[in-house]
Amino acid sequence: MTSDTISILDGSTFIVSDRRGDIEAAPDEPHGLFYRDTRFLSRWVLTFNGAPLTTLSTDETAYSAAQFFLYPPTGTIYENPTVSVIRKRMVGDGFHEDLTVINHSQKPIDIGLRLEAASDFADIFEVKDALAKKGEAYRSAGDDKLVLGYRREGFKRETHVTSSQPADFSDDAIVFRLHLAPHNEWTTCIVVQVVTDRMIAVKYDHGEDMPKPNLRVSLAEWLDQAPRLESDYDALEHIYRQSLIDLAALRFYSELFPEESMPAAGMPWFMTVFGRDSLITSYQALPFSSELARTSLRVLAARQGKRVDPFKEEEPGKILHEIRFGELTAFGERPHSPYFGTADATPLYPVLLDEYERWTGDADLVRELEQPARAALEWIDRYGDRDGDGYVEYQRAMETGLENQCWKDSWNSILFADGSLAKSPRATCEIQGYVYDAKVRSARLAREFWNDPELAERLEREAAELRANFNRDFWMPDRQFFGIALDGDKRLVDSVTSNPGQLLWSGIVDEDKAELVVSRLMDDSLFSGWGIRTMAEGEGAYNPIEYHCGTVWPHDNSLIAAGLARYGYRDEAARVAMAILETATFFNFRLPEVFAGYRRTRTSFPVEYPTASSPQAWSTGTPLLLLRVLLGLEPRSAELAVAPRLPDGIERIELRGIPGRWGRAEALSGALPSAVSR
């Protein structure tokens, strides 16, 4: 979201407004009050004697609350305002808003406050695609309540608005007529309640002003449990704290496992379960919290594919892409109940399971999830490899599905160097790396926990064969780099992109090619100075503001940095990490989902991408993985290995209380490489 908006959230509920607290949502803008993928308010505008208010200040007191300090403009700089208007808003299964007017003058005043309210009850997909509604809207006003409603056959949604002070309710507004004595104030509590198949109770009552997010572990407890960070680079401490706060804000509880949280993918479009995003974010966060990984693994196993369903792209053993609860899903116009159209979440599942055990020593979970992990491996060979060539390909089964089912899932992300579109089915390079890593890691799990040495040996043979074939088939000798994919005709898609950087993270790259890959990743065509671009400058489709064809994605850079470190290129990893950390300082210490790929020599600051989600889970997790890279944190049996390598600009990082199978450990950048346990 852009800096001119305010977002507050709590679980499945979030509000996006302007800095006055007003909501004036265009059909394709993600502004409004949303609950479980439906917009329950699309208009919420406060006027003072018929005119809009002006913002003094906005205070996001917590991720679930905000305050807006406003005044009616006087029309001249020579006359100071004599009235303050304060809106205090708390979100939680609907929202509660305290509206206060203060008369600072020595004279009584008469005021007309009008709060306009409307809802289009748009499904989140209708907002994204600017689609028209198919049902019927209705509204009614009584003496003490405004009801906004929508029905389509058996699907019914309502928004109820009430006030603690007397008001005139009409079909489109609530009006307060005030007479304020000198130096006096007036307050009302407005409650906005959502109705789905039942009435949802707002968590806040009259007079309550302390946020109480819908979480078992409060923000204070979450921060207290996290490792303590100190650094001579002051910005790093702010970035770290903001990442922890945003990760806390994006937590939600599945009805399957209500005692532990997992991450939603991001605001505003992705406040739900996403297989790929949950797995990668949980991986990034493992040195700081293992709960997200544990819950994500269990929830995704419970929702794992069981049958062949082309509409939902479901197949046995496949890990879901996303779940939605709105109108279009309810009527079968979208396949998200859940939708399985992703080819990378399934191999990432055993990758996270193995990494989780390495950090936590939780053998019980590895045994509990043996069958889901085996099913994921079976999917790779039986359904992922569509034609038996040893590579996982994807092709959507129906027009309602995603055309690209890799992490670069926009329709035009897999392109040849001349800008032409690759033919489906497509086998992208990084997915083959994930598969390689999944088989190597699963071999360890099979041997050490599943008592199946035969499976371990088979997986190791298959991984070795995949690595050999991949380094032959995906390598571009003329460009000294890996192609992004094989297309439907088995042609190597020859554009230069960031995807091969993630191959280093998975470990599939042969040693004799690693230096060439690193050299290209760090040259000016890919490395902008603010991070590694998704596509190299000079490619036919390069565009610094195209979603996946020239922008910079923080999470992508975090995985690339981890890969650089894995292959011993610690200085390059530190350089990438520092660029991304410096970027965060221009976004109030919060990394957005994506930003523009302009060269640093062209701009003195990283340029915003207009529709980037923020906060967004795997961008929130990026500084955490970068800290792991800079400090060289690796679990080694019952100890934590520490091998710092810091970039120019940072001389000291100290991280204390790192949780794991060793208890709590510490990493000090001034220490020699060591294994530390405590």
Which pLDDT belongs to residue 670? 66
How many angstroms separate the CA atoms of 78 and 279, rounded?
A: 57
CA distances from 47 to 20, 85, 111, 113, 665 (A): 11, 10, 10, 6, 55
State the average pLDDT for the chain. 93
How many C-beta atoms lie closer than 10 Å to residue 384's C-beta?
24
- Give me the residue label for tokens 């997915």: 431
Give the 3-state secondary structure of residue 176.
strand
Mean pLDDT (whole number) for 631-635: 97
CA distances from 312 to 38, 321, 543 (A): 21, 10, 32
Tokens of 348: 């990432």
**Among 563, 549, 553, 566, which Cα is nearest to 618's?**
553
Mean pLDDT (whole number) for 610-629: 92
Which pLDDT belongs to residue 260? 76
How many angstroms separate the CA atoms of 152 and 150, rounded?
A: 7
Do residues 80 and 6 make contact, with C-beta atoms less than 8 angstroms apart?
A: no
Omega prior to 338 cis, within 30 of 0: yes
Which pLDDT belongs to residue 257? 67
Measure CA 617 to chain center. Answer: 3
- Give me the residue label for tokens 């279009």: 328
3-state helix, strand, coil in the chain (%, to 5): 30, 25, 45
The neighbouring-strand residues paired with 278 are: none
**Tally of CA atoms within 13 A in the half-sphere of 242 that contains its CB:** 22
From-to residues of CATH 2.70.98.40 in the chain: 5-195
Inform me whether the pLDDT recorded for 242 exceeds 60: yes
We find that the CATH architecture of domain 343-512 is: Alpha/alpha barrel (1.50)
Poorest-pLDDT segment among 1-15, 78-92, 485-499: 1-15
Helices 554-566 and 511-521 cross at an angle (nearest 10°) of: 140
Please work out, in degrees rounded to the nearest 5, the angle formed at the alpha carbon of residue 245 by the alpha carbons of 239 and 247: 100
From-to residues of CATH 1.50.10.10 in the chain: 343-512
What does the pLDDT look like over 167-200, one tens digit per residue?
Answer: 999 999 999 999 999 999 999 999 999 999 898 8
What DSSP assignment string belongs to 461-504?
HHHHHHHHHHHHHSEETTTTEE-SEE-TT--EE---BSHHHHHH
We find that the CATH architecture of domain 5-195 is: Distorted Sandwich (2.70)
Which pLDDT belongs to residue 212? 65
Tokens of 389: 């060539």
Which pLDDT belongs to residue 62? 75
How many C-beta atoms lie closer than 10 Å to residue 639's C-beta?
17
Poorest-pLDDT segment among 263-277, 387-401, 484-498, 500-514: 263-277
Which pLDDT belongs to residue 646? 97
Inform me whether the pLDDT recorded for 153 exceeds 50: yes
Which pLDDT belongs to residue 264? 80
Which pLDDT belongs to residue 75? 75
Which pLDDT belongs to residue 204? 79
Mean pLDDT (whole number) for 84-110: 94
Inform me whether the pLDDT recorded for 61 exceeds 80: no
Poorest-pLDDT segment among 241-245, 264-268, 557-561: 264-268
Mean pLDDT (whole number) for 59-83: 84
**Among 296, 44, 79, which Cα is nearest to 174's?**
44
Which pLDDT belongs to residue 675? 46
Sign of CA dihedral 277, 278, 283, 287: positive
What does the radius of gyration of the chain's CA atoms come to, in whole angstroms? 26
| pLDDT over 70 percentage in the chain | 95
